């Protein structure tokens, strides 16, 4: 669906170009959310938005979206493996929110082409 598109490859390249945001970063002392939990929350919000904005999606299409999100999370775990459990800081949170929005846009594009 989306993980086999050029758009997805570009989004992953965008992430790798910004890895320095995650390496050797400092988080506020009171930070409790990890990089992984921030990714999960943001992706979840965006995918819920995709599904609610596309009420005509079939059960199978919704399942395909969930499988794609699982694959995306797996890719992110691989790319960010060294920092996935670190506390997230404001700059990382902003990037993750933007990244999740790009993923949503990719799903929207694929759904509306179909």
Q: Say how many domains are in the chain.
A: 1
Residues 52 and 78: their CA atoms lie apart, in Å, by 29
DSSP conformation letters of 42-97: HHHHHHHHHHHH-TT--HHHHHHHHHHHHHHHHHHHHHTTTTTTSBP-HHHHHHHH
pLDDT, position 87: 92
pLDDT in tens, 39-80: 999 999 999 999 999 999 999 999 999 999 999 999 999 999
Average pLDDT over residues 3-32: 90
pLDDT at 71: 97
pLDDT number for residue 27: 72
The dihedrals phi and psi of 58, each to the nearest 5 degrees, come to -80, 165
Boundaries of domain holding 53: 2-113
What is the tens place of the pLDDT at every residue in 21-46? 998 777 777 778 999 999 999 999 99
């Amino acid at each position: 669906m989306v993980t086999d598109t050029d758009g997805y490859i570009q989004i992953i390249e965008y992430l790798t170009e910004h890895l320095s945001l995650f390496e050797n970063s400092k988080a506020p002392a009171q930070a409790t959310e990890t990089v992984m939990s921030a990714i999960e929350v943001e992706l979840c919000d965006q995918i819920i938005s995709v599904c609610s904005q596309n009420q005509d999606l079939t059960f199978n299409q919704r399942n395909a979206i969930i499988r794609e999100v699982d694959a995306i999370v797996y890719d992110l775990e691989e790319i960010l493996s060294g920092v996935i459990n670190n506390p997230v800081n404001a700059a990382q949170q902003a990037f993750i929110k933007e990244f999740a929005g790009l993923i949503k846009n990719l799903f929207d594009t694929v759904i509306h082409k179909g």
